[in-house]
């Protein structure tokens, strides 16, 4: 059961991260086209109008989309110098506390970001040059943030499972 859930969550967060990667690829391509156009203004080409805004839109979406993948693989920077000398049980407890804290932060970030999106929608704010509604950008970020919350919940479940059963249980790894 938990293995199937884990496989599903890994697929979901990987898919989201790949979408983020594709957004980065789009950022790269649009920048290359724009810089080429800017360099060739004398022969009648043009930069992409609002290229900086596209970079911000693409990167913002990508970073949100990457959060879940980072979390499920436990890639967040942490200091292990003290905890490596603690017992396995204590470490499992710390895992659970850290995951609960991360879930809390993820929920806070996501809910507040969602409210920010509603603000932007009601204010009718747009970007400077392209003048696309800012809430679109926020909505794109929200998709990644929701996946991040789901992954954080899953990680709480995994560390709770590990604490209760006393067996190491990490995402993607078999039960030992």
Partner 1 sequence: MTGIEIALASFPVLLALIFLRIPIGLAMLLTGIGGIYLITGSFLMISGQLRNLTWGTFSGYSLSIIPLFLLMGQFATLGGMSQALFKAAETWLGHRKGGVAMAAVGACAGFGAICGSSLATAATMGQVALPELRRYGYSGELATGTLAAGGTLGILIPPSVILVIYAILTEQNIAKLFVAAFIPGILAAIGYIITIAIYVRLKPKSAGSRERATYAERFRSLAAVWPVLIVFLVVVGGIYGGIFTPTEAAAIGAFGTGLIALVNGGLTFKSLGQSFLATAGSTAMIFLIVLGAGVFNSFLALSQLPQTAAAFVTAQGFNPWLVMVSVLLLYLVFGCVMDSLSMILLTVPIFFPIMSALDFGLNPEEFALWFGIIVLIVVEVGLITPPVGMNLFVINSMAKETPLQATYRGVLPFVMSDLMRVAILTLFPSITLLGVRLLY
Partner 2 sequence: QEVTLRLHQFLPAQANVPAHVLIPWAEKVGTDSGGRIKVEVYSAMELGGKPPELIDQAVNGVVDIVWTLPGYTPGRFPRTEAFELPFTMTNAEATSKAYWDLFESDMKDQDFKGIKILGTWVHGPGVIHAKGDGIRKLEDMQGKKLRGPTRVINALLAEMGSEPIGMPVPAIPEALSKGVIDGTVIPWEVTPSLKIAELVTTHTEFSGDRALYTAAFVLAMNQARYDSLPDDLKKVIDDNSGKAFSASAGRNMQEYDAPGRKIAVDSGNTMIELDQAEVDRWKAAAEPVLTNWYAEMDAKGIDGKALYAKAQDLIAKYSN
Residue 146 in the binding site for partner 1 (CB under 8 A): no
Residues 6+ apart with CB under 8 A from 159: 92, 95, 96, 98, 99, 169
3-class DSSP assignment, residue 149: helix
Give the x-and-dash track for 59-98 against partner 2 (CB under 8 A): ----------------------------------------
Give the x-and-dash track for 24-63 against partner 2 (CB under 8 A): --------------x--xx---xx-xx-xx----------
Toward partner 2, which CB reaches closer, 83 or 126? 126
Q: How many CA atoms lie within 13 A of 37 on its CB side?
A: 13
How many positions of this chain bind partner 2 (CB under 8 A)? 20
Interatomic CA distance for residues 23 and 31, integer angstroms:
12
Toward partner 2, which CB reaches closer, 81 or 124? 124
Interatomic CA distance for residues 75 and 34, integer angstroms:
34
Token pair 């911000």 in the structure block, residue? 56
Task: Report whether 152 contacts 53 (CB < 8 A).
Answer: no
Return residues touching partner 1 (CB under 8 A): 14, 17-18, 20-22, 24, 27-29, 31-32, 34-35, 38-39, 52, 55-60, 62-67, 69-71, 73, 75-84, 91, 94, 97-98, 101-102, 105, 108-109, 112-113, 115-116, 119, 137-138, 141, 145
């Amino acid at each position: 059961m938990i293995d199937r859930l884990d496989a599903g969550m890994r697929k979901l967060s990987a898919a989201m991260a790949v979408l983020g990667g594709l957004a980065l690829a789009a950022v790269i391509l649009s920048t290359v086209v724009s810089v080429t156009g800017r360099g060739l203004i004398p022969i009648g080409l043009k930069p992409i109008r609002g290229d900086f805004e596209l970079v911000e839109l693409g990167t913002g979406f990508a970073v949100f989309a990457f959060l879940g993948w980072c979390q499920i693989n436990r890639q967040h920077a942490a200091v292990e110098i003290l905890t490596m000398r603690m017992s396995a049980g204590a470490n499992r407890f710390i895992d659970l506390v850290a995951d609960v804290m991360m879930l809390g932060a993820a929920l806070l970030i996501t809910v507040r970001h969602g409210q920010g999106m509603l603000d932007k929608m009601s204010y009718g704010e747009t970007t400077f040059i392209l003048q696309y509604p800012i809430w679109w950008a926020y909505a794109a970020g929200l998709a990644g943030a929701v996946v991040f919350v789901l992954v954080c919940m899953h990680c709480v479940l995994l560390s709770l499972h590990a604490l209760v059963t006393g067996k190491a249980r990490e995402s993607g790894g078999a039960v030992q």
